[in-house]
Structure 1
């Protein structure tokens, strides 16, 4: 699987350079997403701009990312999804579960808001 990883201070942008996210690539994607999490990055933006097709195993990889990053206290955001992928997510009713935004700017803003909300929640617990 071809992809790029852009590590920022608060998050990582993971960009698959593949047109299809199917059963041949989904296990690799899951593994790479978990590797980034294990490196200590709790917030990830999955830039889906190049992905034109996904199947149920692709959705499974997205759900795994969402679950594991949420479990760590971070946030998993899907950015720039193409029409086919958006429709599949909506048909599966996963648009109610997954964090999906239109572009990288909105994704970065969502992470910023998440960090502020988490920071204030942690401060309240300390009081």
Structure 2
């Protein structure tokens, strides 16, 4: 699986450089997402702009990433899903589960807002 990883201070931008996210690639995607999380990053932005097709195993990989990054208070943001992928997400009603935005700028803002909200919730607990 070809991809790029851009590590920022607050988040990682993971960009699959593949047109299809199917059963042949989704195990590798799951593995890479878990590796990024294990490296200590709490927030991940998944740039889906190159992915034109996904199947149920591709969605499964996205759900694994979403669960891992949300488990400890982080955020998993999907950016720029192509029309077919977005339709599949909506048909599966996962648009209510995932944070989906159109641009990397919006994704960075979502991470920033999530961090502020999470920090505020922690202060209230103290």
TM-score range, shorter chain: over 0.9
C-alpha separation in 2, matches of 1:72 and 1:55: 27
2:58 equivalent in structure 1: 58
Pairwise CA distance, 1:87? 0.3
Q: Which runs of 5+ in 2 are unaligned?
A: none
Structure 1-normalised TM-score? 0.98
Q: Which runs of 5+ in 1 are unaligned?
A: none
1:109 equivalent in structure 2: 109
CA deviation map 1:55-102 (0-9, x unaligned): 000000011111111002100000010000000000111001111111
1:13 equivalent in structure 2: 13
2:25 equivalent in structure 1: 25
Where do 4+ consecutive residues of structure 1 move more than 4 Å?
none
C-alpha separation in 2, matches of 1:62 and 1:108: 18
2:97 equivalent in structure 1: 97
Alignment size in residue pairs? 126
Structure 2-normalised TM-score? 0.99
